[in-house]
Amino acid sequence: MGCGRVGSTLAVDLQKAGHTVAVIDQNREAFRRLGADFNGRTIAGVGFDRDTLLEAGIEKADAFAAVSNGDNSNILAARVARENFGVKNVVARIYDPGRAEIYQRLGIPTVATVLWTTDQIMRRLTPDGTKSEWRDATGTISLVEVHPQKDWFGQSVLLIEANTKARVAFITRLGEAVLPDEHTVLQEGDLVHVLASQEEIANIETVLAQSPGANK
């Protein structure tokens, strides 16, 4: 649902991947964004209206994405698709971070575009220190790139977990991602990516800014 820049790109990419796609939008002119090569179905109507969804083939759908420009419309359409028609894979784009958190807790998978965009811009405005790479829709858990003080290099990656409440997700080493285990030793030049609760990030930064011995 929604044939704006995101919806049209998503529809075209899904078709290229071999899927059968139907696109719903209230404005027929929006379907021009799909291009001449799009051979899926286009339905003009309200995306949470039962008859419109039936015309789009919702009863046979494996997935439903609500990506219009309205939070209310997106969440309502997502709930109708999941609860009324039993679509298993449903996602809604939500602009309002507060709403995204509520809907996520209600079990509606959301993509909180404002949070993600803000994080990415902050990474480029403030290149030093912790860099947020991903945040869950509730804003509770983040994947962040951290920069340990030089004395951490040569130490086991587990030392980070022992001294903080972070979990090391992966390491970027010489341009390649590495999944660490209990034998992994940090090397100079490693980029360390950790999962942590938002409230713990400041403390993690403080701990990693000092040598490991300073935290004992």
Residues 102-161 have pLDDT tens digits of: 777 777 788 877 777 777 676 667 655 666 778 887 778 989 888 899 999 999 999 999
Q: Is the pTM above the cut of 0.75?
A: no
Average pLDDT for the chain: 89
* Mean pLDDT (whole number) for 40-53: 96
Alpha carbon distance, N-terminus to C-terminus of the chain: 54
Examine the pLDDT at 61 and tell me if it is beyond 80.
yes
Residue owning tokens 């990516």: 193
Assign 8 a pLDDT band (cuts: 50, 70, 90): very high
128-215: CATH topology: Alpha-Beta Plaits (3.30.70)
Q: Which part of the chain is CATH 3.40.50.720?
A: 5-112
Q: What is the pLDDT of residue 126?
A: 64
In whole angstroms, give the CA distance from residue 28 to residue 167: 48
Q: What is the pLDDT of residue 87?
A: 94
Assign 95 a pLDDT band (cuts: 50, 70, 90): confident
Per CATH, the number for 5-112 is: 3.40.50.720
Examine the pLDDT at 43 and tell me if it is beyond 70.
yes
